[in-house]
Amino acid sequence: MTPREMTQAFEQEHLSPFAARSQQTKGRKRPEEECSLRTPYQRDRDRILHCKSFRRLKHKTQVFLAPEGDHYRTRLTHTLEVAQIARTIARALQLNEDLTEAISLGHDLGHTPFGHAGERALNEVSPLGFRHYEQSVRVVERLEKEGEGLNLTWEVRNGILCHTCGEEAATMEGRIVRLADRIAYINHDIDDAIRGGVLTEEDIPKEVRAALGGRHSARIGTLIQSVVEHSAGGVLQMEPRVADAFSKLHTFMYDRVYYNSRAKAEEGKAEDLIKRLYEYFTSRPQKLPGEFAAICETEGKDRATLDYIAGMSDYYAIETFQRLFVPKGWGG
């Protein structure tokens, strides 16, 4: 047996009845010869990890725009924390850890510069609308590898598409990523807000701290433990007391951090920057780089401009704005 076949035999024998087995994948849009070493989901994980869009996540905002300090989360560190939480849950429930990791690593590939501020701006200004989870699928299907896409399995693409809202993923692994995403961002955003002086631990409601714990690690541990202990029959769930506290913590974070005028002071500028870039390139599509000019010809200038701007890092968006709209000193 090849290493892949041994892994797939292990999956068949040891994984939960609710797990997605790689041997039973719905496959890829373009059929490929099997790898002798890796299962289809392992190959998907590796393709995502090595793609350009994944590397750009290190320079994309999570919550705080251009924070002063090295320890604030970026979209990349958020992605890695989601993957860690999701893999822990998947392993404990005897689900497919490789599929879970692939979805986790790919779930935010289509996110804009400046976090949700950039997403809101593109959604407002473009007649096509914009949702980062749909763009993440477009990245892996259309934009990566010079337009060839990564040719991922159906289960990974479905998990990426369904990771945030609307219809749930078709697999348990995809549904785990959706929950892990929420666990990760709520807790690491608390950590960043405390670091930024927006919150203290004591600001968190007492009943939430009593149910979940008074430290970052304790909260994450409580939430994961509750999911593992109370999920059954293919349904992910927490015990009611923990689920209620987590819901209250979510509401608290929206009230105190996500809509906080200090934490979000620069978001209006970021949204204006994104809108100006969008208006510039849709009115001058000939200025788009070559690969996006090709998209412009086949799918229109709005689609090409969305793809170009959504793929920018924070730094590149600012640099492009300065180049286009900020006058340079005269070198005489």
Smallest Cα–Cα separation from 26: which of 125, 156, 116?
Answer: 156
Question: How far apart, in whole angstroms, are the C-alpha atoms of residue 204 and residue 223?
Answer: 16
Strand partners, 74: 61
Compute CA distances 303 → 23, 122, 174, 282, whole Å: 36, 11, 27, 9
CATH class of 37-258: mainly alpha
Instruction: Walk along the chain (332 residues) and give the pLDDT tens digit of each residue.
Output: 999 999 999 999 999 999 999 999 999 999 999 999 999 999 999 999 999 999 999 999 887 776 556 678 899 999 999 999 999 999 999 999 999 999 999 999 999 999 999 999 999 999 999 999 999 999 999 999 999 999 999 999 999 999 998 899 999 999 999 999 999 999 999 998 998 888 999 999 999 999 999 999 999 999 999 999 999 999 999 999 999 999 999 999 999 988 877 666 778 999 999 999 999 999 999 999 999 999 999 999 999 999 999 999 999 999 999 999 998 876 64
Q: C-alpha distances in angstroms, 256 versus 78, 183, 252, 260?
A: 20, 17, 6, 6
Structure-block tokens of residue 152: 């991922």
**Distance between CA 300 and CA 139 in Å, rounded?**
17
Distance of CA 313 to the CA centre of its chain: 14
Whether this prediction's pTM lies above 0.85 is answered by yes
The four Cα atoms 41, 44, 50, 55 give a dihedral, to 10 degrees, of: -100
Distance, in Å, from the CA atom of 10 to the CA atom of 94, rounded to the nearest integer, reads: 11
**Where are the chain's structural domains?**
37-258, 267-313
Could you identify the residue written with the tokens 């994944």?
54
* Per-residue b or e along 204-235, where b marks 16 or more CB atoms closer than 10 Å to that residue's CB: beeebbebbbeeeeebbebbbbbbeeebeeee
Residue closest to 306 by CA, chosen among 49, 149, 111, 51 = 111
